[in-house]
Structure 1
Amino acid sequence: MHAGGIGAPTIARTLNEEGIPNPTSYAKLTGYSWHNRPSSSLWSAGCIYSILHNETYLGTLCQGRQLTPEGQFHSKKNIPKDQWVRTVGHHPAIIDDELLRRELKARKEAGAHNLHEQKKNFPPGIFGKEVRCASCGKILTKGKTLRKTGCERTLFCPTRKKSPSHCKGAFISEKHLESAILHELKNLADRYSDDRVQIGICQDAQSADLIQEKNRLKTAVELIEKEITAYEQRSRDLYLKRATDGMSIDDFNSALSRIRNDVDKLRLKSKRASSELLHLNESIAAESIRMETVLKAADFNHLDKTKVSMLIESVYVHKRDPKSGTQAIDITWKF
């Protein structure tokens, strides 16, 4: 198939549609599993490439590919290919050696030329691991689509590419995704651009409630501290009364115990109120930072890798609705 001009992605998709297990799945089915790491049962373009570049499938036994340094049993060092120990014809070849080498040489020359042209005429993408498929959760793979206006960078679901039956898939152009994110940023900024909001000071209803609650807790903490001070003064007066008026030891211990219990309750109450006050202060500060970030980001006319990594935690892209033509995009922000 590869020698006939069919690419590795198409070969992988064909094998998946025919239900042929990949090497890892075949090893598990035959009872030969050398690790328990979770792995996909689907063929991929990378798997096809690795087979085409693996001399084992040509009937050659390759030994001495790694070296364990002396005294370092948990680390290995890769040996250059020209230093491998090869035994040609060790086992029957699955792939014809001459045909494969001729095909790989032609593909390599063509690929090097195409890669040079792509790098020269195609700018790098702005999205990375944060963009995922909403159906299977896989990171969307970068690609390009030929339009009337030229080549356009796109993002597509790798699972759907391997086997359409395993995932609904997601496909979107980087330009469309960038526009959707900028539009959502402007919508967020509009919520903060009300006349009741000034930069650095939140005056909207939610923040006003936070500030009111903050003042209430602050007043409560101050009152509790005053009560604690009053109880401490009563404790000192109790000692003085015991010394001067001859207060009985039982009455003294009983009164002192009540005072200490009341003080302990007040201290616990003060601790809880102070904790709530600290949490509210953090919420107000976070809201202020969020507002400043949104208003600043709303002025962006375009995105780049730095801005994306600063603003976005994750983006889940859904499949486009064929009837309405709309496409849902779920964005989780870092602010």
Structure 2
Amino acid sequence: MERVLRVAIYCRLSEEDRDKKKDTDDSDSIQNQKSILIKYALDQGWEVYKIYSDDDYTGADRNRPDWNELLKDAESRKFDIVLCKTQARFTRELELVEKYIHGLFPIWGIRFVSVVDNADTANKGNKKSRQINGLVNEWYLEDLSENIKSVLEDRRKEGYHIGSFALYGYKKDPDQEGHLIIDEEAAEVVREVFALFSQGYGKTKIARMLNERGIPNPTEYKRQKGLRYKQAISRNSTLWKYYSISDMLVNEMYIGNMVQGKYGSVSYKTKKNKPRPKELWYRVEGTHEAIIDSDLWDRVQELIKQKTKPFKIGKIGIFAKKAKCMHCGYTLRSVKNHGYYYLQCQNKYVSEDSCIGSFIPVKKLEKLVLDELHKLINEYLDKDEVERKIELNNNFNNQKVKLEKSITLFEKKIEEYSSGIQNLYLDKVKGIITEKQFVEFSRNFTDEKEKYEGFVTEHIKQISDINEKMHTGDNRLQIVEQYMNIEKLDRETVEKLIDYILIGKRDEQTKEVPIEIHWNF
């Protein structure tokens, strides 16, 4: 007897045909897709394994929860066929058409069928047709992205606020789209920060004063008020920090000017952004009520200008952004005392509980790094070529194992948050939670999910870099030959050789400062 084929049905609501009746209902489009595809499957004599459905997701979104679940189940060979209304419902990206429909699905023994455009991987003759469909969909995505960017650009030029989050001190005007109004509770803190700085208080001191009084930082304030906010991934994220004060003091938004477009997207295929040159920012004056008056603003900007010191090449700058606190991960800052330069963790000064503090003279750190570099060079030269290669590969493989373990943990977290979002949706449908509660809870889940997705992306990149190094081979001999007689460090050498350095707190008995150097080789 011939085995009955199992089919996975995939449905997706597209942006152009959304027609929901209620927030708690599946859209008519989704319902129609299900009806068409179930009937088609039954007519073919296939058994429906499961219906995967993503509502309110675009065809370019790679984070669709049910779509990703379908791919995992396909890899586990839980069904034989993926059935969609059109190929575009599965994906609009040509890259993913090639990766899954023409690449992995055949390897996994999965057949892909779409009803309307007659795509069927069992029919070898229509592969070019499927590729043309993918190319047309790719063009559609690119055109759509350019159109959206054009509309947003026009609105920014007109001074409308475009963004998910209002700046701390402001909130979105419920009566006028794209307009900001003052949030008085937060605005009072902003005014105090500017006033304190104008009176001579330093940025770290101001942060500490706010923390001692229990005033939540901007992210925590918005979370407490149920406002949209960008999820912080650093430790002690509820505390004010030096950079929070520093960024606030130079933000023109506080004098009523709309400044946007500081970052731009890398591509329509990714959510990643990159900084844009200042001359390309969108700046419109007088779009909303100012929190800081012009006189106070000018005084503060003049003070900042007076305190700004030019970057010096030499001992002060050689470890810039390379030295981090072993206890809290904060980047150490350079300070000068009695003619000597030191690196210290400023986090110690923002709150009693923030950090125990790290501190080391720059001259001492330079000596420790040079000693460790010479030690590594001597150990390397003592080994024969075979031993060197084995050691290098072992090091790389150990790094990869650690990264892969972390990725597994992160993916588990992503899956948990995806399931959590689906369960929240079901609770909303059943009336267990309200729409407002659903939005709040799911937003938090989504923020956490995106955070771990970022971790996965970064770890995958690190693994790719390691694979590239393994493919390139052992380049340490060239490094040894270049630096074996080095007696003094400079910025260029540190940048080339060192990824980062962790600095601990000095041991009161031995007087030694623990350091951990992470090399680039």
Give the TM interval when normalised to the shorter protein. 0.5 to 0.7
Q: In 2, Cα distance between the equivalents of 1:25 and 1:313?
A: 31
What code does the residue aligned with 1:32 have?
L
The equivalent residue for 1:144 is: 335
Shift of residue 20 of structure 1?
A: 1.3
The equivalent residue for 2:498 is: 312
The equivalent residue for 1:49 is: 246
Q: TM-score, normalised by structure 1?
A: 0.56
Post-superposition CA distance 1:24-54 (Å, at most 9, x none)? 2111101112444546222123322343444
Q: In 1, Cα distance between the equivalents of 2:295 and 2:345?
A: 33
Q: How does 1:159-178 map to 2 (within 5 A)?
A: 159-178=347-366
Q: How does 1:151-300 map to 2 (within 5 A)?
A: 151-152=340-341, 154-191=342-379, 201-202=384-385, 286=474, 289-290=475-476, 293-294=479-480, 296-300=482-486
Contact 2:250 2:301 in 1 (8 A): no
Q: In 2, Cα distance between the equivalents of 1:46 and 1:209?
A: 44
What code does the residue aligned with 1:11 have?
I
Q: Indicate how the Cα distance of structure 1 residues 53 and 323 shifts in structure 2: closer, same or farther if over 3 A, else same.
A: same
Runs in 1 of length 4+ with deviation above 6 angstroms?
A: 72-77, 120-123, 207-210
Q: Indicate how the Cα distance of structure 1 residues 324 and 54 shifts in structure 2: closer, same or farther if over 3 A, else same.
A: same
Q: Indicate how the Cα distance of structure 1 residues 127 and 209 shifts in structure 2: closer, same or farther if over 3 A, else same.
A: closer
Match of 2:281 among 68, 78, 82: 78
Q: Indicate how the Cα distance of structure 1 residues 313 and 102 shifts in structure 2: closer, same or farther if over 3 A, else same.
A: closer
Shift of residue 135 of structure 1?
A: 1.0
1:10 is the counterpart of 2:198: no
Contact 1:182 1:298 in 2 (8 A): no
The equivalent residue for 2:303 is: 107
Post-superposition CA distance 1:63-114 (Å, at most 9, x none)? 58569x9xx999996323xx42435xx48x5x5x2662353254145336xx
1:31 is the counterpart of 2:210: no
Shift of residue 295 of structure 1?
A: 5.7
The alignment partner of 2:501 has SS state of strand
Shift of residue 329 of structure 1?
A: 1.0
Q: In 1, Cα distance between the equivalents of 2:509 and 2:363?
A: 22
What code does the residue aligned with 1:181 have?
V
The equivalent residue for 2:507 is: 321
Q: Indicate how the Cα distance of structure 1 residues 122 and 106 shifts in structure 2: closer, same or farther if over 3 A, else same.
A: farther
What code does the residue aligned with 2:285 have?
W
The gaps in structure 2 that reach 5 residues or longer are: 1-195, 392-469
Q: In 1, Cα distance between the equivalents of 2:261 and 2:367?
A: 48
Contact 1:64 1:79 in 2 (8 A): yes
Q: How does 1:120-135 map to 2 (within 5 A)?
A: 125-135=317-327
Q: Indicate how the Cα distance of structure 1 residues 85 and 26 shifts in structure 2: closer, same or farther if over 3 A, else same.
A: same
Q: Indicate how the Cα distance of structure 1 residues 119 and 11 shifts in structure 2: closer, same or farther if over 3 A, else same.
A: same
Shift of residue 23 of structure 1?
A: 1.8
Post-superposition CA distance 1:145-194 (Å, at most 9, x none)? 122xx242x32224324334212221223221111011112223443566
Q: Indicate how the Cα distance of structure 1 residues 50 and 120 shifts in structure 2: closer, same or farther if over 3 A, else same.
A: closer
The alignment partner of 1:186 has SS state of helix
RCO comparison, higher one (Cα < 8 Å, 6+): 1
The structure having more radius of gyration, on CA atoms, is 1
Q: TM-score, normalised by structure 2?
A: 0.38
Q: In 1, Cα distance between the equivalents of 2:520 and 2:260?
A: 44
1:333 is the counterpart of 2:519: yes
Contact 1:64 1:85 in 2 (8 A): no
What code does the residue aligned with 2:485 have?
D
Q: In 2, Cα distance between the equivalents of 1:207 and 1:110?
A: 53
Q: Indicate how the Cα distance of structure 1 residues 181 and 65 shifts in structure 2: closer, same or farther if over 3 A, else same.
A: closer
RMSD after superposition = 4.0
Q: Indicate how the Cα distance of structure 1 residues 139 and 54 shifts in structure 2: closer, same or farther if over 3 A, else same.
A: closer
The alignment partner of 1:144 has SS state of strand
Q: In 2, Cα distance between the equivalents of 1:5 and 1:136?
A: 28
Post-superposition CA distance 1:257-276 (Å, at most 9, x none)? xxxxxxxxxxxxxxxxxxxx
Shift of residue 57 of structure 1?
A: 5.0
Shift of residue 319 of structure 1?
A: 0.9
Q: In 2, Cα distance between the equivalents of 1:326 and 1:178?
A: 14
Q: Indicate how the Cα distance of structure 1 residues 295 and 26 shifts in structure 2: closer, same or farther if over 3 A, else same.
A: same
Q: Indicate how the Cα distance of structure 1 residues 35 and 185 shifts in structure 2: closer, same or farther if over 3 A, else same.
A: closer
Q: In 1, Cα distance between the equivalents of 2:285 and 2:348?
A: 38
The alignment partner of 2:296 has SS state of helix
Contact 2:327 2:355 in 1 (8 A): yes
Identity between Structure 1 and Structure 2 (%): 29
Residue correspondences, number: 234
